[in-house]
Amino acid sequence: MAAPKRRTSKSKQKMRLAGNRWRKPLLKECPECGSRIPGHIACPSCGTYRERQVIEVDVL
């Protein structure tokens, strides 16, 4: 069996693990209603995307 020549340094371990570290989702502010929503989706509270009405939302 092939064995590693030297052990992985703490720095290299951290560099490897940084690739699959959890990052908080980037929330954007809706220009219409100001609610915090993730990018590239229609706003769930007012139904607009790129300042255009794209989905119908029931206003309670």
Give the footprint of Zn ion on this chain (CB under 5 A). Answer: 30, 32-33, 43, 45-46
Nearest approach, Cβ of 37 to Zn ion (angstroms)? 7
Residue 29 sits at φ, ψ, to 5 deg, of -90, 130
How far apart (Å, rounded) are the C-alpha atoms in residues 47 and 23? 27
How far apart (Å, rounded) are the C-alpha atoms in residues 5 and 25? 39
Is the Cβ of residue 15 or residue 34 nearer to Zn ion in the bound state? 34
Nearest approach, Cβ of 21 to Zn ion (angstroms)? 30
Is the Cβ of residue 19 or residue 38 nearer to Zn ion in the bound state? 38
